[in-house]
Amino acid sequence: MALGLCSPIVVSASSVLFMNSVQEDEEEGVHLQISDLSLANGCLYMKLILLNGGIYLKLVPCFSMLILSLILLKQMEEGKENTSRSRSDKQ
């Protein structure tokens, strides 16, 4: 499951690394050289990469945590009910 969640980010990040490069000059220092493909169509490709990263790095973990927390709370409630039932059966 982790590989499935991480693969879109790895693919999109590696494509950005191949398209853009970091340049270092004596005069200007370090700067990012942005490719023409990244800037084409109103920076559509870069916006899609940011959207993809936002979904997989923020929304998916947030909703997963919510769902897993609700499942955990339900299991805890069922365990409490089972414990109280078993105590009342022993008396």
Q: What is the 3-state secondary structure (H, E, C) of 36-52?
A: HHHHHHHHHHHHHHHHH
What is the pLDDT, as a whole number, of residue 66?
Answer: 95
Tokens 């008396």 appear where?
91
pTM: 0.55
Tokens representing 75?
């299991």
pLDDT digits (tens, 9 = 90+) for 3-59: 666 676 666 666 555 566 777 888 878 877 777 877 788 888 778 877 877 887 788
What is the pLDDT, as a whole number, of residue 47?
Answer: 83
Which of 19, 24, 9 is closest to 43 using CA atoms?
Answer: 19
Tokens representing 2?
């982790």
Alpha-carbon span 78 to 83, nearest angstrom: 9
Output 45 or 71, whichever has higher pLDDT.
Answer: 71
Q: What are phi and psi of 36, to 5 degrees?
A: -65, -35
* CA 47 from centre of chain: 16
